[in-house]
Amino acid sequence: MIKLVSSIIIMTILFLTASCSSDDLPDAYPSNYLDYETKTALELPFNDEWWVFWGGHNVSDNYHAEYREQRFALDIVQKINGSTHAGNGSQNDDYYCFGKALNAPGNGKIIDIINNIEDNIPGQFNQDTPTGNRVIIDHENGEFSILAHFKKGSIIVSIGDNVVKGQELGKAGNSGNSSEPHLHYHLQNTADPFNGDGLPAQFLNYYANDTFIENGEPVKNQFIKN
Ligand SMILES: [Zn+2]
């Protein structure tokens, strides 16, 4: 039952806003990994500057925090002049991140791919395949990276491939339970995106709001880049 619930709710509700008071927020999942130190040398899995829509350890900064696997997940978009899209946002091509390269955040082996899910019309959700098109990387140290919502057909790596940090995996899209084009990323301790513990993902050597971060976790509202 829990598995079913989490699989339905997994991923992004980007249109959810802070319309409710903090008293109304659900509790964060009681993780045993709050102070976990990431073993894999991770870098941000994209080029140029992106913006953290949801990220952090608290439910107010990160709606994912309610869920075990996604406890420390990030939803990341590109934002220019205060908006994630040009035009009226009715088409995926309006969104600045749509079709942008997504890269391996760390070295590892590709163990799972979905690449044939249609991209949604913005504002609609596909709850049948919550992750949409996805890539799972086994970092071969008990850590697994899950990247979700790729553009249909854009994934250019295969199961069994060894990838290196920074290698392109595919393009950002709007497939699965996603209201607009974005990257969902999280680290966890199993290969099954619906059964495992989410782990804090510390990235190395990036910029958050133009401040250099040697080792840190992006949080809501930060502009981040390598
Ligand atoms: Zn997400």
pLDDT at 193 over 80: yes
Instruction: Compute the distance from residue 180 Cα to the ligand 1 centre, in Å.
Output: 11
Binned at pLDDT 50, 70 and 90, residue 4 comes out as very low
Instruction: Compute the distance from residue 141 Cα to the ligand 1 centre, in Å.
Output: 24
Furthest C-alpha separation in the chain:
46
Instruction: Compute the distance from residue 23 Cα to the ligand 1 centre, in Å.
Output: 23
Instruction: Compute the distance from residue 44 Cα to the ligand 1 centre, in Å.
Output: 16
pLDDT, residue 14, reads 53
pLDDT, residue 24, reads 81
pLDDT at 2 over 90: no
Report the CATH fold assignment for 2-13+41-225.
Glucose Permease (Domain IIA) (2.70.70)
Instruction: Compute the distance from residue 81 Cα to the ligand 1 centre, in Å.
Output: 23
Instruction: Compute the distance from residue 137 Cα to the ligand 1 centre, in Å.
Output: 17
Q: What is the pTM of this model?
A: 0.91
Instruction: Compute the distance from residue 213 Cα to the ligand 1 centre, in Å.
Output: 23
Q: Which of 9-18, 81-90, 188-197 has the lowest mean pLDDT?
A: 9-18
pLDDT, residue 25, reads 87
Instruction: Compute the distance from residue 123 Cα to the ligand 1 centre, in Å.
Output: 15
**What is the percentage of the chain residues whose pLDDT exceeds 90?**
89
Instruction: Compute the distance from residue 65 Cα to the ligand 1 centre, in Å.
Output: 10
The string of pLDDT tens digits covering residues 90-141 is: 999 999 999 999 999 999 999 999 999 999 999 999 999 999 999 999 999 9
Binned at pLDDT 50, 70 and 90, residue 1 comes out as very low
Instruction: Compute the distance from residue 161 Cα to the ligand 1 centre, in Å.
Output: 25
How do the domains of the chain map onto residue ranges?
Answer: 2-13+41-225
pLDDT at 162 over 80: yes
Instruction: Compute the distance from residue 147 Cα to the ligand 1 centre, in Å.
Output: 9
Instruction: Compute the distance from residue 10 Cα to the ligand 1 centre, in Å.
Output: 7
- Residues pairing with 135 in the sheet: 113, 147
pLDDT at 190 over 90: yes
Which has the closest alpha carbon to 7: 128, 146, 119?
128
The string of pLDDT tens digits covering residues 22-43 is: 568 899 999 999 999 999 999 9
